[in-house]
Amino acid sequence: MCGIVGMIGQVNTKEILLKGLEKLEYRGYDSAGLAFVNDGVQVFKEVGRIAALREHVPAEADGFAGIGHTRWATHGVPSVPNAHPHQSTSGRFTLVHNGVIENDEQLKAELGVDLLSDTDTEVVVQLIEKNFKATGDVTEAFRKTLKALHGSYAFALLDSENPDVIYVAKNKSPLLVGIGDGTFNVVASDAMAMLQVTDQFVELHDGEMIILTRDNVTIQDLEGNILERAPYTAEIDASDIEKGTYSHYMLKEMDEQPAVIRNIIQKYQNEAGEITLDQSVRDLVLGRDRVYIIGCGTSYNAGLVGKQLIEQIAGIPTEVHIASEFGYNMPLLTEKPLFLFLSQSGETADSRAVLVEAKKLGHRALTVTNVQGSTLSREADATLLLHAGPEIAVASTKAYTAQIAVLSILAFDLAKAKGKELPFDLMKELALISSAMDTVMSQKDRFQEIADEYLKESRNAFFIGRGQDAYVGIEGALKLKEISYIQAEGYPGGELKHGPIALIEDNTPVIALVTQPHVHLNNRGNVKEVVARGANACVIASEGLDLPTDAFVIPMVETLLSPLLSVLPLQLIAYYAALGRGCDVDKPRNLAKSVTVE
């Protein structure tokens, strides 16, 4: 969601902050702003892209310290007054904020000042000024304000009277401090924003604040106690977050999927070619009587596939739940549950809310994520990394296939530990799939033709399948609606007659997957049903199950692992459908990459 950058100690702060904000564009935003301390505070805000803000900021604007922000609207419409940074009435304090303050209305009523925006953030900066007038100490005013807040926040605060300090704090929303060379330090929501100047970062934990100067990082809890924490090295190759010759990050990341699968194979096997997981992960899962997979969006859809893998291979009962519902409507749990969290970023607020509740109940948790050291990784009992590299496009592609691959490795490792007979050589099958992925990705022109033929003039579309294909269809529908804005729904083929078929009319696009040998004739029957009602049916089938009339044929792979391959055509079709409509593929409207507020 919202992104924060900050820097203290350099004279070229402006350009570093602007470049940092550009690296945070993937998170999704509707406005952006900068503030510099330089003989007072200068604030610049614009609605729209960073490019508009860059044009708005004068060439001479700069400062010894500065903060920047990309806003995704929660309180108040996208507008210049609602954009960050926000200032106190006197102009002394300037604040940027990621998160949602739940008691802002109560605090607003107690302030007694006129507000210029509709945001919860302005309430906070006004409260800081009020507390400063009462205490005469900025650090104490900041700490007192933090104690009064209910909700989530990541803050960076400037004081025009003390340009040598940036005040930083977090609760539930991600924030890092980057360590410079002794002449500067930085702050960012994501390490990628500041890799341009450092790869050394210090994590903030919930309920902590930092007094940041050019040469010092002082971590405190909300009682004023000093805390010590060593920095870590962000193991991200700066070239991984560049598009290179690609027109869009999404296309680059789709193309990376074969390499991601090969990297996962390398990371999760020993010299003998056998699956190897950390014993702590195996011990965490074995002995649990049910796995509860928790996810949102694409991660939830990957969990639907993962459920089949864990149940059919490892023999452990598994349920899949939407995090935002589970957190407030927890079902009756078994005696020894394991909570398995799927999250590309490891910062998903709804999933973290479930993790907090699970820990209160004394349950164990495993996180599968792409980001080492992320909140869900740090707070769970163990972590399995996706090793997929940074994913910048809002619409997830390579994280989905990486999640399924890692879940298959987990399922096989558990089955082996339980003495179960393994149905096939997993690492060999994953290697074959990575090669088959290369084959599919080399035929992009065909998917552009399919998108033009079936979706160019369409307002809606349906995806149908049976077995694993049904779950992949749900993900395909999500990809299409995310980036092309075509209303799309995925259904098990057998559910058509229970309602959705009423929406089929002349030329309605229906994309059908046929990759499951045991139910392929059933889904062929469903295709005939929609065609009889005027649908424009696009069938994507596996070799051996295909017919001459099918739109595309993919290589036959192991049935349980087929989603790793069958999702690729759906990703590409969505991509080219969005291009054909002139949509912003990497940054679709109203969406954010990392949903860090509930």
Instruction: Please give the positions annotated as active site.
Output: 2, 593
Angle (nearest 5°) at CA 252 between 444 and 234:
160
3-state secondary structure 73-115: CCCCCCCCCCCCCEECCCCCEEEEEECCECCHHHHHHHHCCCC
Name the token pair of 192: 């990628």
Distance, in Å, from the CA atom of 203 to the CA atom of 229, rounded to the nearest integer, reads 8
Burial level of 444, CB count in 10 A (0-12/13-18/19+)? middle
Q: Where are the alpha helices (DSSP H) in 136-243?
A: 138-148
d(CA 80, CA 299): 34
CA distances from 68 to 29, 36, 98, 211 (A): 13, 9, 11, 18
CA nearest 185: which of 169, 200, 163, 205? Answer: 200
CB of 523 within 8 A of CB of 512?
Answer: yes
Pairing assessment for the beta strands 185-188 and 153-159 based on DSSP bridges = unpaired
The beta strands (E) that lie in 336-459 are given as 337-343, 364-369, 382-385
Q: Identify which of 176, 170, 231, 202 has the alpha carbon closest to the alpha carbon of residue 5.
A: 176
Query: Are the C-beta atoms of residues 123 and 115 closer than 8 Å to each other?
Result: yes
CB 55 within 8 A of CB 23: no
Pick the closest to residue 397 from 568, 577, 594 (CA basis): 568
Q: In a 3-state reduction of DSSP, which class is residue 416?
A: helix
Distance CA 473, CA 481 (A): 12
What would you report as the CA-atom Rg of the chain, rounded to the nearest whole angstrom? 25
What's the token pair of residue 241?
Answer: 């977050």
C-beta separation of 585 from 479 below 8 A: no
| One-letter identity of residue 181 | D
- Alpha-carbon distance of 358 to 337, in angstroms, equals 10
- Strand extents, DSSP E, 412-466: 460-465
Query: Cβ(182)–Cβ(201) under 8 Å?
Result: no
CA 377 – CA 322 distance, rounded (Å)? 19
CA-based nearest residue to 366, from 303, 418, 424: 303
Alpha carbon distance, N-terminus to C-terminus of the chain: 11
Report the 3 state secondary structure along 358-378: HHHCCCEEEEEECCCCCHHHH
Structure tokens at 153: 């926040």
